[in-house]
Amino acid sequence: MIGWTIFPVFAIVAALVGVVGSVAAFRSSLRSRVAVCCMWVSTAVIMVFVAGLWIALDRPPMRTMGETRLWYSLFLFISGAFTYQRWGYRWVPSFATMLATVFMAVNCFKPEIHDATLMPALQSVWFIPHVAIYMFSYALLGCATLLSVYSLFGRQRVDNAVESLLYGGVAFLTVGMLTGALWAKQAWGDYWSWDAKESWAAATWLIYLLSIHLLRLKRGSRAVVCAVIVVAFLSLQMCWYGVNYLPSAKQSVHTYNR
């Protein structure tokens, strides 16, 4: 039976395969097939664990912070694999592996095992799309952020990759937010109620929209756009788990994991 106790095995395998892929990507001047394969193998390893956990818990593993971190690692590998396959930037596999490993390591040391019950509030058709779409968008935007930082301080220009990841990430962020709004109507009566988490989600979305508008209107230097992307990602972290520590979230209807 797959459970958190054997997660370290999966995490170590996925991380090691990711490292092999990262090394292969760095050593190859062209797109390395080995690296592409490794990224997809790491993806598959985490995917097997997620599927197993889902079956073992008899509910989608999307409720606790630990479980969302698991999805985040999965989508990081997927977006890393996809980005490398598509644009061939040699640092992408190592970035994706590094970030995914951090999240997997946190889960190894702090698995936050919870009971199998999915509370009634989360039993909805919107639950899986809402969380999965958001996690995928977070992973794309995480990659976009790393590439922007690289673009700010590195020598190579990676604007095309940043822009593509940004468009994909913001598209999913929008759909994630709106599936949340549609779900909120089903659950609580209104589409939007300015709960702390909702306000931070809106702010994050707007800061990302700012970066896209600056790019499209050709306003702001590369440094300004990259800085906006970094600020947006910080806001996203607040929205994801930071709000739980805010006094304004004491009444929040979005905190299921405390």
Number of helical (H) and strand (E) elements in the chain, helices listed first: 8, 0
Q: Given the complex with another protein, which of 33 and 185 has the nearer CB atom? A: 185
Q: Given the complex with another protein, which of 6 and 128 has the nearer CB atom? A: 128
Which residue in 27, 33, 157, 213 binds another protein (CB under 8 A)?
213
Q: Given the complex with another protein, which of 29 and 221 has the nearer CB atom? A: 221
Cβ distance 69 to 107 under 8 Å?
Answer: yes
Calpha distance 112→199 (Å, rounded)? 27
Calpha distance 54→60 (Å, rounded)? 5
Calpha distance 35→26 (Å, rounded)? 9
Which residue in 44, 192, 244, 255 binds another protein (CB under 8 A)?
192
Helix residue ranges per DSSP H, the chain = 7-27, 33-57, 65-87, 92-109, 127-153, 159-188, 196-216, 222-240
Which residue in 29, 113, 155, 189 binds another protein (CB under 8 A)?
189
Task: Examine residue 46 and tell whether it contacts another protein (CB under 8 A).
Answer: no
Q: Which residues bind another protein (CB under 8 A)?
A: 115-121, 123-124, 160, 163-164, 166-168, 170-172, 174-175, 178, 181-183, 186-192, 194, 196, 199-200, 202-203, 206-207, 209-210, 213-217, 219-221, 224, 235, 243, 246-248, 250-251
